Amino acid sequence: MMNLTSLKISAATTVAAMLFTSCAGMTPGESAATTGTLAGLAAGIGGAAAGMSPGSAAALGAGVGLAVGAIVYFVAKHQADERQRQIAEANARRQYAARQAALRKQNARYIAVRTSRNSQSTGVASVMIWDTQSQKLVGDTVYDVKQTPQQGSTAKFDSYNAVYVGS
């Protein structure tokens, strides 16, 4: 059974993780590392408090930390040009129409769609975020990703959890 001290530590760690993930001044890499570390600590502490052996709790924490920290890593973000907006909008409309039922089952409010690269692009792919409720791009931000997310996976872009649908 979890004792009160362990519960307080786990709660404090979770709250700290939530606060750090919204820090606008952090680079994407810093945010991923901080979030992964704090989530791993919370999982490890929770496992130890639940009675896991220290080795098992450490393994749990390491696994959770790696999974959370690797959710998505975008290299840079910049304002979209008109061509990028047009391509992202066309891709989003096409992908949403093709996957509407599946996205509704996932309760996916946002989808990440691939757009064209331009002279500002620095990652392996450029994506924009589409709001499935308003049927509009959420803004003018292009996210250049270090690694293209897996089709159908959920990735975090700033404050948006978006299902990656490609182009």
Range with top average pLDDT, 7-21, 57-71, 100-114: 100-114
Q: How many residues does the chain have?
A: 167
Q: How far is CA 161 from CA 3, 58, 113, 164, in A?
A: 33, 28, 13, 10
Partners of 157 in the β-ladder: 160
Contact yes or no for 71/30 (Cβ under 8 A): no
The predicted model scores a pTM of 0.60
pLDDT at 147: 87
Does position 70 have pLDDT exceeding 50, yes or no?
no
pLDDT of 55 reads 77
Q: Give pLDDT tens digits for 96-152.
A: 999 999 999 989 999 999 999 999 999 899 999 999 999 999 999 999 998 888 899
Is the separation of the CB atoms in 118 and 84 below 8 Å?
yes
Total Cβ atoms within 10 A of residue 85: 18
Which stretch of DSSP H or E encloses residue 15? helix 4-21
Only one residue has tokens 């606060």, namely 19
